[in-house]
Chain A
Amino acid sequence: MPLSVKHLLGIKELTVQDIEQIFQTADEFKQVLQRPIKKVPTLRDTTVANIFFENSTRTRLSFELAEKRLGADVVNFSASGSSVSKGETLIDTVNNILAMKVDMVVMRHSASGAPWFLANHIDASIVNAGDGINEHPTQALLDSFSIRERLGSLKGKRIAIIGDIMHSRVALSNIYCLAKLGAEVTVSGPPTLIPKHIESLGVRVEYNVKKALEWCDVANVLRIQLERQHKPLFSTLREYALFYGINKQMLDGLKKKIIIMHPGPINRGVEINSDVADSGQSIILNQVENGVAIRMAVIYLLSGKKDAQLSI
């Protein structure tokens, strides 16, 4: 039973069944990754292009490893040092890459919606590796997968997403994903970094980070995305760290041991202190580990017989 979609553009388009299939498949890939031979020959007839118009270390490496461990051939492309700087359009760039017989495209782009635009113009399957401030589906999947691994299930679990909600594609994808899996979500951070009407997505808003921490089972802490903030939204990083940063003292004051997550890259001492990021409660590196298995699952499930009837 394949996924209900041809591309992985956003979590919004996925069904609960799709997500569960991805998790079930990722479970098996995780097992493969723990063997001495961490590779399967499944996609040896597939070529994947990783097209990154925006900086990335984790996501790009993770996708590349996932593709290689599936046996696929991989080509990498980054906007800097390419013909994009000579004025080539997105569709031309991608069509040129596809002309070299590439079967799947993994794309990160700074413009929200870019993968949807591309999906309307090309035949290959597209995996969104982050588009602007919109979605970052594989990150949300690996976050939920990591929580599921720790807590068994997401149903009824309380997840706090803390930090720059406004500019975070991780936050939006997580909200969709957690809601589909039956978790309760609270977003927390400075009012200027929380979009108005976010309650319409079915989440609670809590401006007091301490209260959010007391409420939750899992805190997913996000980075302040200074590169996307075009006007001052809080006075200084130091002030942000004082009011919204998470330190060990706050965690020790809670009644239960909550799980700490962060999608990376971490700004130590800003949104999260080192003594929290490196503590036993942190599953930050498990998230990274699970990322490869999740991406293997997504790429595997999107390959195979192409069916024209599938919606985008």
Chain B
Amino acid sequence: MKTLLNKDQLNITLQRLAHQLVENHLSFKDTAIIGIQPRGIYLSDRIAHMVRNITGQKRIDYGRLDITFYRDDVQSRDIQVPSDTDIAFSIENKSVILIDDVLHTGRTIRSAMDALIDYGRPKNVELLVLVDRRFSRELPIQPDYVGHTVDTILTQKVKVYWKEKDGKDEVVLIDKV
């Protein structure tokens, strides 16, 4: 097991990502942040909070998206109970920033885009991930904002721990046997 980001490094990375979002979206008037359930929402919670602090804008459209019903492997794995989808605003003509913790094969993001489009037609969609597992993509999907890039092999796993959920802030690379 190898630590990719410790607590302090993670915080600095999150701050950078939040500032990059503000740099590109300024007031966030026509921009929505949407975290992907179940693990992406801890990241999106933090990013949304930071963006609110940086911009001083209290009302930023922030939602959570569950992609269970849009997976391409429903029949080939154990059925999963869905998490909440909570998008209490229209995404029509908005800039949407999708947020997930780890980008690996790209299939989750493919599902998320399909799910998102069923809520309306956004102006454009961007992708923010904390960890990009480079060279492991199975679909032509690339992130717009990356916290940390790592080269991995298939048997390895990137795990992001969040204080709210797991009691600590850390990103680790695990070698599975």
CB neighbors of B among A277-308 (8 A): 300-301, 303-305
Given known pairs A28-B66, A36-B120, A37-B118, the reply for A304 and B81 (CB within 8 Å) is: no
Main secondary structure of the interface of B (DSSP, over half): loop
- A1 interfacial contact with B, CB 8 Å: yes
- A35 interfacial contact with B, CB 8 Å: yes
- Of all chain A residues, which has the CB nearest B82? A28
- Of all chain B residues, which has the CB nearest A103? B75
Q: How far is the CB of B107 from chain A (nearest CB, A)?
A: 14
A301 to B79, Cβ gap below 8 A? Answer: yes
A21 to B81, Cβ gap below 8 A? Answer: yes
- B69 interfacial contact with A, CB 8 Å: yes
- Of all chain B residues, which has the CB nearest A45? B75
Q: How far is the CB of A278 from chain B (nearest CB, A)?
A: 31
B78 to A2, Cβ gap below 8 A? Answer: yes
Given known pairs A25-B82, A28-B82, A31-B85, the reply for A40 and B70 (CB within 8 Å) is: yes
- A80 interfacial contact with B, CB 8 Å: no
A303 to B118, Cβ gap below 8 A? Answer: no
The range of chain B's interface size is 20 to 34
Give per-residue flags for A1-12: 1 if the beta carbon is below 8 A from chain B beta carbons, else 0: 111000000000
Residues from chain B with Cβ under 8 Å of A35 in the complex: 118-119
A43 to B74, Cβ gap below 8 A? Answer: yes
Given known pairs A31-B85, A35-B119, the reply for A304 and B70 (CB within 8 Å) is: no
B75 to A46, Cβ gap below 8 A? Answer: yes
Residues from chain A with Cβ under 8 Å of B69 in the complex: 28, 32, 40-42, 70, 300
CA distance A304 to B69 in the complex (A): 12
Cβ contact of B84, chosen from A21, A28, A43, A301, cutoff 8 A: A28
CA distance A87 to B119 in the complex (A): 49
- Of all chain B residues, which has the CB nearest A27? B84
Residues from chain B with Cβ under 8 Å of A304 in the complex: 74-75, 77-79
- A83 interfacial contact with B, CB 8 Å: no
CA distance A28 to B80 in the complex (A): 12
Cβ contact of A1, chosen from B74, B81, B83, B114, cutoff 8 A: B81
Q: How far is the CB of A306 from chain B (nearest CB, A)?
A: 9
- Of all chain B residues, which has the CB nearest A70? B69
Residues from chain B with Cβ under 8 Å of A305 in the complex: 75-79
- A24 interfacial contact with B, CB 8 Å: yes
- Of all chain A residues, which has the CB nearest B117? A37
CA distance A304 to B119 in the complex (A): 25
A42 to B85, Cβ gap below 8 A? Answer: no
Residues from chain B with Cβ under 8 Å of A25 in the complex: 81-82
A303 to B79, Cβ gap below 8 A? Answer: yes
Give per-residue flags for A77-105: 1 if the beta carbon is below 8 A from chain B beta carbons, else 0: 00000000000000000000000000000
CA distance A126 to B84 in the complex (A): 28
- Of all chain A residues, which has the CB nearest B92? A36
Q: How far is the CB of A190 from chain B (nearest CB, A)?
A: 42
CA distance A42 to B74 in the complex (A): 7
CB neighbors of A among B64-115 (8 A): 66, 68-71, 74-85, 114
CB neighbors of B among A14-61 (8 A): 21, 24-25, 27-28, 31-32, 35-37, 39-43, 45-46
Q: A28-B66, A37-B118, A43-B74 are in contact. List 7 more A-B contacts (CB 8 A).
A: A3-B79, A28-B83, A28-B84, A41-B70, A42-B69, A70-B69, A304-B74
B interface with A by C-beta (< 8 Å): 66, 68-71, 74-85, 114, 118-120
**Can you show 19 pairs from A to B with CB atoms below 8 A apart?**
A21-B81, A24-B82, A28-B66, A28-B83, A37-B118, A39-B118, A40-B69, A40-B70, A41-B69, A42-B68, A42-B69, A42-B74, A46-B75, A70-B69, A300-B69, A301-B81, A303-B75, A304-B78, A305-B78
The 3 closest A-B pairs by CB, nearest first: A304-B79, A40-B69, A42-B69
